[in-house]
Structure 1
């Protein structure tokens, strides 16, 4: 009975934390970080103010968890795409997927575009993420690009860092500028990335790359889960 009660308590705690995170996410999108108080988060989540602090030590920690959860969803969706179609690992396909999903996720959009109206002082916190988490992100992106270059999927006539910089500049440009036609912007982005960086989309090569890319992304998922658990005082 004690073991069952412990499991029930854990499940209840997790559900309560999810309600708090969902409330914080809704308020971040509709009000912006500056205007939000923990009292309002508690009211929106249907819990006491002390319960919010039981899960998250500070307001900043709570909203950093909201942003980390958004990042986690993006990576997990990319993993799902890979399971369904090896061609999803192409840089052009990944760019299109990121673009379309950022349009659907206002928190991710605020992060990618540096929206200070939404994020306020959190912008500074994003740029100073925990060292090991930032290093894992860098390592994951570098390994992804290097794997594609080694197998002849991406051009290799510039450094990985220059290539990554150019790719991010193109992606952010599409995200920050109002498209001429929203319905085709993702396809246009994919075409630009394909012409700028890709030299092959051989399905045989792509299939052999999937386990390697999946391993890189899974490490990122595990690290993001660790960060969320740490922020939630678990």
Structure 2
């Protein structure tokens, strides 16, 4: 178990998207009755949230690269309907149910899980997560590409999650697709981390950005081995 402890603790140096999701992660997603969608709903729809109810299981590998070398890999199996989670890292395996009381090692694993899911489907978090404030600005200069993009900012309150009070500035294009984002720890005015969204792929109706790069290209976060099992 020493290996698994080290690899889940590696989250501290890799990224910071670790807020606890609302319980709606394991519930059905209902289509809004209103005909006018919010920007958050449009972004989630573009990424395929309407197909989420059909997913029985999703597998994916979360990988962190430094100067071209992979330094961290976590392999996940998640059943959203039951909230069963399995982590395989190095030679160790941890299984737990997010609806159950977790021990200290499972909590560490769950922190890593929430982080990695946030990177995988951040568009859905805009409409899933509770205790948030959303603000919007049109035609902003994106910090990495310098392109003119629309901006939606999500700020978490100080009472929930593993890292309460955090903020994410998300830049998206006219097609409601994420292009880059800035993470600000504790809603600080200065960026804690920023990355691009690249190499989009669509699997069973869900669209993922499988590659993220820091402005200098030295740090990368990517996903491999994404597999989806749909409800029969």
Q: Given the two structures, how large is their TM-score scaled by the length of structure 1?
A: 0.23
The structure where helix makes up a greater share of residues is 1
Please report the TM-score for the alignment, with normalisation by the length of structure 2.
Answer: 0.23
Q: Which has the higher contact order (CA 8 A, sep 6+)?
A: 1
Q: Which has the larger radius of gyration?
A: 1
The structure with more strand, counted as a fraction of residues: 2
